[in-house]
Chain A
């Protein structure tokens, strides 16, 4: 019990000091909201516009969720295909680095033209492409980072590559898959939100932040940012919960480093 509390109070303390310092800075220096709104202002905007916040977050979260599912499925398929050709981990790292430099979000205007801009489709696609990469890289790594001795064992048991994939590689890749999901899930919210900056339906968090800022409603803009943070956090926590459910405790610990 003691140790549990020990884990809880440092972040609370840090957050309190941070928010207190922020509030103090704004009040003492008499900063204007367009420079930096006070936490109290953001909080009051957040609570007074709660229904709007919820609606916008729900819209963006739906885009993010669809993109996350779609991108994860694509990532898994590509990883399973790549596993047959990429046999060494050394090949994954440069591939991952190369993919990371592709400015996917910049594809949004192009996708907006390719697909119906008034629909959710282009945003879901951008989110899916962004999600695909961390899933692909991590799962590929999990599929090929199998102990040499375990592979020898499978050979001694006269296992076909397909059986080895099913019995050894896929179970081995599950913790790696969750590592990828933990990166991908909050990323999907950011992608869905940023994709809204390029036009299309206006009811999402990204659109609301942009319009609030354009109307000099800085407190409200920040309140939407807060809603976005909470949405990302919920996605992340949902993945953690799923991981707890699927993999036994110690297996997670051994793969987090």
Chain B
């Protein structure tokens, strides 16, 4: 599999995580090991997906990278910096399952929010937001309010907002999780297009195996109790098109991710083969 050794010295390293552990409610009876000894290296321009059942720590891992939550031990380097410095230097953009748009702002002003906080001049902001609106094909909705948009369109606004300051890293926490299947596939294609246009490094959290396979260069499989990485599967589908989802290669990749997920499902429950994990 891919090397998971520390290579923060490498200038091509977007993300280097080693021996990362995080415990919730330490010392209490309800102590949970959210992440245990996580090693992960992501190269600049790489698209990786974190996949696993609920409670496997995939969202927590994303939040540690974004410095939205702390960690207990190990080391995390985002573009060679601590997560806190990376956040303060606005080295990443983030999109969540909820678009989290501000209802009182127009679409344009939502996209300009990160630029405002970064102290951009008004004319620069307008130029940049127009560019981003064009990228997510929402130019005609520039002055609409978020609630006037469909779920998929709102999510596109959120993605445009995450790209606003042009950060090298994009963190995405199930951004298409609340969308219907057709919208979801269209959004996946758009995301891949944006990725090609911008060359961002992307860490993408998802529940969906086909989504992870379709989008990623590498699928990182995680398992709960304790939250940890149990497998990393390289996906070499090349450039995606309409036929990709129906190709044998795609199905083989889906199968290997599914098996990797299942392997740890059964290993936890000793001999019985189908004990449902909660």
Name A's B-contacting residues (CB within 8 A): 147, 149-150, 152-153, 155-159, 163, 167-168, 171-172, 174, 247-248, 250-251, 254
Contacts and interface: CB of A to CB of B under 8 A. Distances in A.
Given A156-B94, A158-B88, A251 B113 contact: no
A157 B104 contact: no
Interface string B225-243: 0000000000000000000
Contact of A174 (B100, B104, B147): B104
B201 to A, nearest CB: 16
A250 B149 CA distance: 13
Given A149-B97, A150-B100, A159-B117, 9 more contacts: A152-B94, A153-B94, A156-B93, A157-B114, A157-B117, A158-B88, A167-B102, A171-B105, A248-B145
Given A149-B98, A158-B117, A248-B145, A254 B103 contact: yes
7 contacts: A147-B98, A152-B63, A155-B68, A156-B93, A167-B116, A250-B147, A254-B103
B231 to A, nearest CB: 29
Given A157-B117, A159-B117, A251 B94 contact: no
A156 B90 CA distance: 8
Given A156-B87, A157-B90, A250-B147, A149 B100 contact: yes
Contacts of B68: 152, 155-156
Contacts of B94: 152-153, 156
A254 B104 contact: no
Interface residues of B, number: 26
A247 to B, nearest CB: 8
Interface of B: 63, 66-68, 87-88, 90, 92-94, 96-98, 100, 102-105, 113-114, 116-118, 145, 147-148
A171 B87 CA distance: 25
Contacts of B116: 167
A171 B106 CA distance: 13
Contacts of A163: 117
Contacts of A168: 102
A229 to B, nearest CB: 34
Nearest to B145: A248
A155 B88 CA distance: 9
A20 B102 CA distance: 50
A248 B145 CA distance: 9
A251 B103 contact: yes
B147 A149 contact: no
Contacts of A153: 94, 96, 100
Nearest to B158: A153
B36 to A, nearest CB: 24
A149 B104 contact: no
A167 B113 contact: yes
B103 A157 contact: no
B239 to A, nearest CB: 31
9 closest A-B pairs (Cβ-Cβ)? A149-B100, A171-B104, A156-B94, A157-B117, A149-B98, A149-B96, A150-B100, A158-B88, A152-B68
A174 B102 CA distance: 13
Most chain A beta-carbon contacts within 10 A, residue among B88, B98, B100, B116 = B100
A149 B162 CA distance: 13
A171 B103 CA distance: 9
Nearest to A247: B104
A143 B250 CA distance: 48
A248 to B, nearest CB: 6
B117 A167 contact: yes
A138 B238 CA distance: 55
Nearest to A160: B117
A156 B105 CA distance: 19
A147 B100 contact: yes
Nearest to B161: A153
Contacts of B66: 156
A150 B103 CA distance: 11
Given A153-B94, A167-B117, A158 B87 contact: yes
Contacts of A167: 102, 113, 116-117
A158 B100 contact: no
A152 B92 CA distance: 13
Contacts of B97: 149
A111 to B, nearest CB: 39
Given A149-B98, A152-B96, A157 B113 contact: yes
Most chain B beta-carbon contacts within 10 A, residue among A149, A163, A167, A250 = A149
Contacts of B114: 157
A250 B102 CA distance: 13
A254 B105 CA distance: 15
A147 to B, nearest CB: 6
